[in-house]
Amino acid sequence: MFVSTLNASFMQSLMNVALDRVATDFSITLSQANWVVLGYAIVTGSVITTVASLIARYGIRRVMFVSYVAAVAGSLLGFVAWSFPVMIVARLIQAITTGLTFPLVNVALLRLSPKGRAGVLLSLNSGVIGVGLAVAPLISGLILTYFGLHALFLLPAVVSAILLICAHFALHNLTPRIEKKIDLISVVFSTCALATFMYGLNDVTRNLLPSLALMLFSVVLAMFFVFRQRHLADPLLDLRPLRVRAFALGEVLVIVSYMGSVYLSLLAPLYLEGSASYTPFMAGCLLALPILCYGIFCFASGKILGKHGVSPLVPCGFAIMILGFGATFFAAQSRLVTVFLVCVAVAYGGYGVMYPSIKSVDLEVIPHAEASSGSSIHSTFVQIAGSVSSALFVGIMSSDVTSSMAAGSTKAAAYAFGFSHTLLIALGILIAGFLLSLVYVRAVAKTNPTSPK
């Protein structure tokens, strides 16, 4: 399960250091190139909504087999992709793997964990994801710099093929299978709502009114999706966990904090490549240690959570992230790369302190019977946050870079301006998250008064 998580995390982050290269190789804008990330997140989010039903109907073993096959097929198609649309299709197929893997592993760990140890295992799993996030820029940058864009897809193809073989011997179903229907209309609603919202948000700085109309339409579709789930006898995504106040608040904080982490994972490489003129490999090397801070703090936060509870971790994590983002703003404007990397590391450390704690507590405050639904809701919100932040931040930065260069700025100056502008937006979102975190820790204490304060 941990290796599967690592592979899915690596594939999700595969193109983070490659956006500038994709734009250059295919002669497109950064905003268009960003669809290798956006499309991935949309499909992942849509697939996640089906996971609880798929596990109930087919069992963990079959669902994981499908995820491995999708990873192999998508990676091989990406390796031979002869055009940008074909590469997009390859990423969409790969995304099925991440959409199935993340919530499924959470459910498996909850089922396998000894009593009272679920939080530690889930924090460990978050740390594994952090390792994937740290390794991806380094390996992707190395392959991209010396072997080209298409070679990026070979490593996940090989790893997924090995996992497919090992799964035949290692994977077993942990829960009895039941005949649970999968509502295809709900799948269409969720996919179309996410896709139209992301398309509008990604283009909002260039075509304001059409983009706003698309985003409004997506909200209507999302309302239909929620309405349908509440009236289906067998909903695609059971929304009952959201009735628990602590869980609902925690998931809002998940969205806010994850938006901050996506900002760093996407725009920090763009800054290093565009403003500081580093190769993708060097950008990946420089970012590996800051991102690894996230994984290290994930492991540490699991132990602290067991002793002291969620109360000190979540507000402190947000405060550290805000400090890191604020310092990064000044470092980026001064173009002090070493200071910039230290500030990014501080921000990632804050995320590692807070995110695994929210994730662990959220899945423990809901009834055990709703664990699959809670995990699917959590993973869906993570992908929504990733999609929104990717579209928002990369879309705004792409617009800033285009307008600055048209006004006569150098590429380095244009990238520095775009990075600093979008960072202020991310900082405002994190400040709102910090204020909400103070309400959240009180809600957790009321929901589970016997837990450490």
Cα torsion angle, 94, 65, 44, 10, sign:
negative
Q: Is 430 helix (H, G, I), strand (E, B) or coil?
A: helix
**pLDDT, tens digit, 9 for 90 and up, residues 109-164:** 777 766 666 666 776 777 677 677 667 777 888 888 888 888 999 999 999 999 99
Q: What is the dihedral of CA 87, 92, 93, 95, to 10 degrees?
A: 130
Pick from 196, 245, 247, 253: nearest CA to 225:
196
Q: Of residues 408 and 318, which shows the higher confidence score?
A: 318
User: Per-residue pLDDT averaged across 238-261, rounded?
Assistant: 87
Q: Are 325 and 432 in contact (CB under 8 A)?
A: no
Residue found by looking up tokens 């760093």 in the block = 264
**pLDDT, tens digit, 9 for 90 and up, residues 360-413:** 787 777 887 777 778 778 877 887 787 778 777 877 887 888 888 888 888 888
Could you tell me the pTM of the whole model? 0.74
Question: Is the pLDDT at 1 greater than 50, yes or no?
Answer: yes
Query: Measured between alpha carbons, how far apart are the two ends of the chain, in Å?
Result: 31
Extents of the domains making up the chain: 2-171+178-182+236-447
Mean pLDDT for the chain? 83
The answer for residues whose C-beta is within 8 angstroms of residue 350's C-beta and 6 or more apart is 297, 316, 317, 318, 319, 320, 321, 322, 323, 324
pLDDT band at 452 (very low <50, low <70, confident <90, very high): very low
d(CA 195, CA 383): 12
What is the percent of the chain where pLDDT is above 70?
A: 91
What is the percent of the chain where pLDDT is above 90?
A: 18
Q: Of residues 39 and 310, which shows the higher confidence score?
A: 39
Pick from 15, 143, 190, 194: nearest CA to 90:
15
The answer for residues whose C-beta is within 8 angstroms of residue 75's C-beta and 6 or more apart is 11, 90, 94, 153, 154, 156, 157, 160
Q: What is the dihedral of CA 87, 187, 53, 43, to 10 degrees?
A: 20
Q: How many alpha carbons lie under 13 Å from residue 241 in its C-beta half-sphere? A: 25
Residue 391, both tokens = 């579209």
Question: Is the pLDDT at 449 greater than 60, yes or no?
Answer: no
Write down the architecture of domain 2-171+178-182+236-447 according to CATH: Up-down Bundle (1.20)
Question: Is the pLDDT at 431 greater than 90, yes or no?
Answer: yes
**pLDDT, tens digit, 9 for 90 and up, residues 35-86:** 888 888 888 878 887 877 788 788 888 888 999 999 999 999 999 998 999 9
Q: Which helix (H) or strand (E) holds 442?
A: helix 411-447
| pLDDT computed for residue 305 by the predictor | 65
Question: Is the pLDDT at 453 greater than 50, yes or no?
Answer: no
| pLDDT computed for residue 244 by the predictor | 86
| pLDDT computed for residue 430 by the predictor | 93
Question: Is the pLDDT at 451 greater than 60, yes or no?
Answer: no
Q: Which residues of 428-446 are buried (b: 16+ CB within 10 A; e: fewer)?
A: ebbbebbebbeebbebbbe
